[in-house]
Amino acid sequence: MEKDKKEVLNLLKTARGQLDGIIRMVEEDRYCIDISKQILAVQALLKKSNLTVLKQHIHGCVRHALLNGEGEEKIEEIIMILDKYMK
C-alpha cells in the first residue's frame, strides 16, 4: 500500500513538473507539435497514476467490502468510474 502511494505521488509530481514546462513552452511560443507531445506525456502519467489508485482501491476497499457483504456499492463505484474512463 505504501509502495503504491509513493508511486502515485512520484507520478503526480512528475506530471506537475512537466505541466509547468508545458506552460512555459506555450508562453514562449514553442513549436505546437513539441507542446502536443509533452501534453500526451502528462496524460500518460496521469493515466498511470489513476490506474494505480484504482488498483489499490480494488485490492483494499472493494475487497474489504466484498468480504463483509457490502460489496454492491463498491462494485457500482467501479462501474461508474470505468464508464467515465472509457469516454
State residue 29's pLDDT score: 97
CA 9 – CA 5 distance, rounded (Å): 6
Q: What are the per-10-residue average pLDDT scores of the chain (87 residues)?
A: 88 97 98 98 96 92 90 91 86
Q: pLDDT at position 25, please?
A: 98
Phi and psi, residue 59, nearest 5°: -70, -25
Please give the pLDDT value at position 42: 98
Cell of 17: 513538473
Q: What pLDDT is recorded for position 46?
A: 96
Per-residue pLDDT, 1 = 63
pLDDT, position 4: 85
Provide the sign of the torsion angle of the four alpha carbons 4, 10, 12, 18, taken in this order: negative
The CB density around residue 62, as the number of other CB atoms within 10 Å, is: 19
Topology at the third CATH level for domain 2-86? Methane Monooxygenase Hydroxylase; Chain G, domain 1 (1.20.58)
